[in-house]
Amino acid sequence: MRAILLLMAKDLRERVRDRSLFLLALVVPFGLAAVFSLVFKDVDTQAAPTFALADQDHGQIATAFAEQALRPLERRGVIRLRAAAGEREARAAVERRDADAAYVIPPGFSAAVTSGRPATIQVIGNAEAQIGSFVARSIADAFASEVRYVQVALAVKGSGTMEQAAAVPEPVTVEDLAAERRQLSVSEGFAAGMAVFFLFFTVQFGFSSILDERREGTLARLLAAPVPRAAIAVAKLLNGFVVGVAATAVLLVAAAPLLGARWGHPLGVGLLVVAGTLAATGVMAMVATVATTAERAANLQSIVAVLFGVLGGVFVPIQQLGGVFGALSLVTPHRWFLQGLADLHGEHAPVVAAVPTLALLAFGAVTTGVALLRSGRMVRP
């Protein structure tokens, strides 16, 4: 154990003196995450649709539509409402794209509804704002259904007022349970993606430094000393692991105040970082055992890191394509790391993202085991 700690201390001192470590592990990933977040910041914040309302009736039912159907949505920030003097002004607002859609309530609308005659709310939609137009039509349809329900209730009772009929309990109610948020924001996604992407480049120098030491002749001197070969391999692995955990933790902590990221419970995030770093260290070490020189190891590790990053959804959520791409993403630690952070989001999120954490630990256990079994071909003069 003492030999492992001494070797780790020596390698860590050398890594700290190497300024490129800080660039690769901290400056570049955080800078890219900040740039991407600024470029795509508007994706997260879609503006509420604006509707123009031309009330030419001013009756009881028209007022109910404005005050009971539209104003509550406006107060909740779901829509924005603006008044229009008439149909011409409302139509002009839509054509100028000042409004996504417009409501026109014609004169006599309330009288027609209360007397049981056909009545119409005109919805003028903007062809280039299809979502806003669809929302406007849905609100009008919901209000029309409510009016129809009151008319039926009055017909069944045979007498009474509109208010009394509206107070009759609905025979069937629909409860809307919004799905709890289980996804990262744009800033969080890029910060987490860059952290796990560059984590693979950060840890690759740990185990691969065996090849550097063999090329420079220092490995032969180590083997001449009373140091077990297994201790050398373990020390190199732990060196990459420690640097990877520290770099990823610093990136995620810095992203909270600087990019507004929220990562969930610290225990769950910490376990994900440890498990993700273990997986990255194992994968990079296993790839290094295939190479015969440090240069070939670096090339192979870079190819694997980029390929896993693409398939794991670091740059685009390729797993959402499903099929082959969805299946391939499951064999990358990146996918499980990002999924774990997303699972920790939400009001009732778990303390620990159990499945992603276990998947990353399995990646780490398998790949690290293979690397240690093959380390004998590297730890030699």
- Average pLDDT of the chain, as a whole number: 81
Burial class (CB in 10 A: 0-12, 13-18, 19+), 10: middle
**Tens-digit pLDDT profile for residues 20-57:** 777 777 777 777 777 776 766 655 555 678 899 999 88
**217 Rama class: left (phi>0) / alpha (psi -120 to 50) / beta:** left
The predicted structure's pLDDT at residue 220: 77
For 51, phi and psi rounded to 5 degrees?
-120, 135
The predicted structure's pLDDT at residue 121: 86
pLDDT of 357 > 90? The answer is: yes
CA neighbor of 380 nearest in space, from 230, 201, 162: 230
Q: Which residues share a beta bridge with 81?
A: 51
What is the arithmetic mean of pLDDT over 163-185? 56
Counting residues of the chain whose pLDDT is more than 70, the rounded percentage is 86
Using the structure block, give the residue that is written with the tokens 């020189």.
293
What is the arithmetic mean of pLDDT over 209-229? 78
* Sheet with 101-105, edge to edge strand ranges: 80-83, 50-55, 101-105, 122-125
Q: What is the DSSP string of 184-205?
A: --HHHHHHHHHHHHHHHHHHHH
The predicted structure's pLDDT at residue 277: 92
| Per-residue b or e along 78-105, where b marks 16 or more CB atoms closer than 10 Å to that residue's CB | ebebeebeebeebbebbeeeebbbbbbb
The SS3 assignment for 101 reads strand
pLDDT of 176 > 70? The answer is: no
pLDDT of 376 > 80? The answer is: no
**Tens-digit pLDDT profile for residues 81-128:** 888 888 889 888 888 888 888 999 889 888 888 887 888 888 888 777
Residue at 43: amino acid letter: V
277/337 Cα distance (integer angstroms)? 10
Using the structure block, give the residue that is written with the tokens 């806003």.
132
The predicted structure's pLDDT at residue 348: 76
pLDDT of 163 > 50? The answer is: yes
pLDDT of 179 > 50? The answer is: no
pLDDT band of 182, cuts 50, 70, 90: low
pLDDT of 178 > 50? The answer is: no
pLDDT band of 276, cuts 50, 70, 90: very high
For 103, phi and psi rounded to 5 degrees?
-105, 135
CA neighbor of 122 nearest in space, from 90, 150, 147: 90
22: CB partners within 8 A, 6+ apart: none
**Tens-digit pLDDT profile for residues 317-342:** 777 666 788 888 888 999 999 989 88
The predicted structure's pLDDT at residue 137: 87
The predicted structure's pLDDT at residue 170: 55
pLDDT band of 366, cuts 50, 70, 90: very high
Residue at 312: amino acid letter: G
The predicted structure's pLDDT at residue 41: 62
pLDDT of 134 > 70? The answer is: yes
pLDDT band of 165, cuts 50, 70, 90: low
The predicted structure's pLDDT at residue 156: 64
The predicted structure's pLDDT at residue 158: 61
**Tens-digit pLDDT profile for residues 220-258:** 777 777 777 888 888 888 888 888 898 888 888 888 887
pLDDT band of 375, cuts 50, 70, 90: confident
**What are the counts of helices (DSSP H) followed by strands (DSSP E) for the chain?**
17, 4
**49 Rama class: left (phi>0) / alpha (psi -120 to 50) / beta:** beta
